[in-house]
Amino acid sequence: MTRVMTVTPRNRRFPTILRFRAWRWGAAVLAASLALAACDTGEGVDVDGDEEGTAGDAPEGGTLIAAIGGEPDQFDPHVTTAHVSFQVLENVYDTLVAPDAEGEYQPSLARDWSTSDDELTWTFELRDDVTFHDGSDLTADDVVYSYNRIIEDELANAYKFSEVDDIEAVAEHTVEITLNQPTPALLDNLGSHKGLAIIPEGADEDLDLVTEAVGTGPFELGSPEASGVTITAYENHWNGSPTLDAVEFRYISEATTALTSLRAGDIHWTDNIAPQAVEDLQGDEEVELGMSPSVDYWYLALNQEREPWDEVEARQAIAYGIDREQIVEAAQFGAATINQTAIPEHNLWHHEYAPYEHNPDEAASLLESAGVDEGQQLDVMVVQETEGVQIAQALESQLADIGIEVTIEQEPESTWLDRQSEGDFDAFMWSWVGNLDPFGFYHAQHVCDGGLNFQGYCNPDVDELLNEAAGETDQDARKELYDQAAEMIVDDVSYLYLYNPDVVQAWVPGLDGYEVRPDRATEFENVTLPE
């Protein structure tokens, strides 16, 4: 068809059959695309540059365009476990309490709470001025319904209610929670993230929660599409109407595309920043960079049911054999904070303890006393396409210096998880994300029969400390217990803690009211766009 147009555009003697065919080819392709595109169900993503929300010229209110790294799997807060889903849901739902940037729990839907003398009954007083997006009032029945849904349907966060015996609405705005043992971490269990969201009574039957939402948050969920979703301001939000008119989330999985979109003014905000781009961005005037150590951490776990890693000296040798600075440089391009315990600085539960430094000689002598021979094999299992691969590569060369031969086993996440739960590994590299309370950081990973203790660690002293801490309601005493436990966990190398990766986010200069949080919660409630 091209031939017809480019070579003999005005040749009337050109064979009509070929010309006709060529035209039909084009027409067929065009018609097919028109026909199929016409059954387009959605509006798609707004055109860049044509919308009010475009960076640079937005007045008060306006639409913030945020690029997140992927498509949320679904929007049912009690079912999803995907971070990208919670980036949206963070702005749509509320919880009874919510953590501040230091990890301390503050009132949210509950304005106040009290504990009985035996620590087994918690009474939450709800705010009485909260309405759902459909206009109905929030009552204690909604709280009871929401929690019972999670528990009875065995949904993703059901484990957070294992100490809960009963949830009861004792007055219109009063909820009573009865526990089977004192649980100081209850606030964390009820408010750590929007997976514990309060939904209206009967919402599971009345709505398709996978794609619809009736929350109490500052924004209402629009209809999700394959390329993005828009949330719009809820004027009657109990904490005041948000400053923005709307937030449009776009799913951009390629970091270069997200960054170029930000520079070109197609989007206002993104957290899809490749670690290697951070250094360049720090001096960049076109982009504002926000960084904070996250509550996430990367660690290496050695299988303590396999020789020689059942010997504490052998594990400590690895701890002395690694160079954390090099690891952080290799895996995160420096965008991380080295930490020999789990909880990051700035968090109120942080405990400064760093007994290990890079010391190959010490490592070698520890290996000798553990009876480990030169050339000892160590297979390190990592999830493919994660930072774990780079960490393992750095580890491979560092441990070669002390005579340990590392083989890196890259597995898809699903296979990796299977092998982890079956104990089929020498060592694995992994990260925990989103913990705020020390119970979440330390308990199930390090008590002898802990559900997440895949490495087979067992120290009765640590068990005692962790179990006591789990029930200790005095915050200072509780911290003291966790500090002691953390030191023993580090000394025994139950986990070999490496670092807390930084939360890295970027936005257009002039965007105001946004706070980078260690728990990666993305709240757009108080954001204003640049003039």
Partner 1 sequence: MTGYVLRRLWQSAVVLIGVSILVFAIMHLVPGDPVRQALGTRATEAAYQAMRERAGLDEPLLTQYLDWIGSAFTGDLGVSFRTGRPVMEMILERVPATVSLAAAAIVVALLIAIPLGTIAALKPRSPVDWFATASSQAGLSIPDFWMGIMLILLFAGTLGWFPSGGYVGLTSDPVGWAHHLVMPAVTAGVASGSILTRFVRSSVLEALGQDHVRTARAKGMRRRDVLGWHVLRNALIPLVTVGGVQLAYLLSGVVIVEIVFAWPGLGQMALQAVESRDYPLLQGSVLLFAVIFLLVNLLVDLLYARLDPRISYVGAAK
Question: Are 302 and 311 a contacting pair, CB within 8 Å?
Answer: no
Asked if residue 180 binds partner 1 (CB under 8 A), the reply is no
Q: Which stretch binds partner 1 (CB under 8 A): 14-22, 97-105, 163-171, 357-365?
A: 14-22
Residue 319 Cβ, how far from partner 1 at the closest point, in Å?
24
- Measured CA to CA, the distance from residue 402 to residue 385 in angstroms comes to 27
Q: Between 33 and 116, name the residue whose CB sits nearer to partner 1.
A: 33
Tokens coding 279? 């250094």
Site residue total, partner 1 (CB under 8 A): 79
Scanning residues 37 to 76, which ones bind partner 1 (CB under 8 A)?
37-50, 67, 70-71, 73-74, 76
Residue 265 Cβ, how far from partner 1 at the closest point, in Å?
8
Choosing from 6, 283, 285, 375, the residue that interacts with partner 1 (CB under 8 A) is 6
Q: Between 18 and 171, name the residue whose CB sits nearer to partner 1.
A: 18
Find, among 427, 480, 143, the residue nearest to 302 by Cα: 427
Asked if residue 14 binds partner 1 (CB under 8 A), the reply is yes
Scanning residues 220 to 259, which ones bind partner 1 (CB under 8 A)?
225-228, 250-254, 256-257
Residue 70 Cβ, how far from partner 1 at the closest point, in Å?
8
Scanning residues 276 to 315, which ones bind partner 1 (CB under 8 A)?
none
Scanning residues 264 to 283, which ones bind partner 1 (CB under 8 A)?
264, 266
CA-atom Rg of the chain in angstroms: 27
Angle ∠(46,49,55) on CA atoms, nearest 5: 100
Q: Between 137 and 212, name the residue whose CB sits nearer to partner 1.
A: 212
Q: Between 25 and 345, name the residue whose CB sits nearer to partner 1.
A: 25
Q: Which stretch binds partner 1 (CB under 8 A): 219-227, 361-369, 401-409, 483-491?
A: 219-227
How many C-beta atoms lie closer than 10 Å to residue 411's C-beta? 17
Q: Between 259 and 399, name the residue whose CB sits nearer to partner 1.
A: 259
β-bridge partners, 256: none
Choosing from 10, 12, 36, 377, the residue that interacts with partner 1 (CB under 8 A) is 36
Scanning residues 437 to 466, which ones bind partner 1 (CB under 8 A)?
444, 451-452
Scanning residues 390 to 419, which ones bind partner 1 (CB under 8 A)?
412-415, 417-418
Q: What is the DSSP letter of 448?
A: T
Over the range 423-451, which residues count as b (16 or more CB within 10 Å of their CB) and which as e? eebbbbbbbbebbbbbbbbbbebbbeebe
Q: Between 65 and 366, name the residue whose CB sits nearer to partner 1.
A: 65
Q: Between 76 and 142, name the residue whose CB sits nearer to partner 1.
A: 76
Choosing from 101, 120, 158, 289, the residue that interacts with partner 1 (CB under 8 A) is 158
Q: Which stretch binds partner 1 (CB under 8 A): 15-23, 179-187, 399-407, 490-498?
A: 15-23
Q: Which stretch binds partner 1 (CB under 8 A): 12-20, 315-323, 493-501, 505-513?
A: 12-20
Question: Are 343 and 445 a contacting pair, CB within 8 Å?
Answer: no
Residue 216 Cβ, how far from partner 1 at the closest point, in Å?
23
- Measured CA to CA, the distance from residue 119 to residue 181 in angstroms comes to 8
- Measured CA to CA, the distance from residue 123 to residue 177 in angstroms comes to 6
Q: Which stretch binds partner 1 (CB under 8 A): 149-157, 334-342, 351-359, 392-400?
A: 149-157
Q: Which stretch binds partner 1 (CB under 8 A): 117-125, 150-158, 487-495, 503-511?
A: 150-158
- Measured CA to CA, the distance from residue 202 to residue 200 in angstroms comes to 6
Q: Between 139 and 445, name the residue whose CB sits nearer to partner 1.
A: 445
Question: Are 332 and 276 a contacting pair, CB within 8 Å?
Answer: no
Question: Are 526 and 243 a contacting pair, CB within 8 Å?
Answer: yes
Residue 441 Cβ, how far from partner 1 at the closest point, in Å?
13
Question: Alpha helix (H) ranges present in 153-231?
Answer: 186-191, 203-206
Residue 463 Cβ, how far from partner 1 at the closest point, in Å?
20
Q: Concatenated DSSP letters for 195-214?
A: GG----TTHHHHS-TTT---
Residue 218 Cβ, how far from partner 1 at the closest point, in Å?
25
Residue 40 Cβ, how far from partner 1 at the closest point, in Å?
4
- Measured CA to CA, the distance from residue 430 to residue 383 in angstroms comes to 8
Asked if residue 26 binds partner 1 (CB under 8 A), the reply is yes
Q: Between 228 and 321, name the residue whose CB sits nearer to partner 1.
A: 228
Q: What is the dihedral of CA 39, 45, 47, 49, to 10 degrees?
A: 170
Find, among 427, 430, 385, the residue nearest to 406 by Cα: 427
Choosing from 30, 354, 400, 477, the residue that interacts with partner 1 (CB under 8 A) is 30
Q: Between 26 and 510, name the residue whose CB sits nearer to partner 1.
A: 26
Residue 433 Cβ, how far from partner 1 at the closest point, in Å?
10
Residue 340 Cβ, how far from partner 1 at the closest point, in Å?
23
Q: What is the DSSP letter of 351?
A: -
Determine whether 112 is exposed, middle or buried from the number of CB atoms within 10 Å of its CB (0-12, 13-18, 19+).
exposed
Residue 38 Cβ, how far from partner 1 at the closest point, in Å?
6
Q: Concatenated DSSP letters for 300-350?
A: EEE-TTSTTTTSHHHHHHHHHH--HHHHHHHHHTT-EEE-SSSSPTTSTT-
Choosing from 153, 307, 345, 512, the residue that interacts with partner 1 (CB under 8 A) is 153
- Measured CA to CA, the distance from residue 378 to residue 60 in angstroms comes to 58
Choosing from 223, 282, 421, 473, the residue that interacts with partner 1 (CB under 8 A) is 421
Which residues, 6 or more positions from 383, have their beta carbon under 8 angstroms from its beta carbon? 410, 411, 412, 413, 416, 430
- Measured CA to CA, the distance from residue 97 to residue 115 in angstroms comes to 15
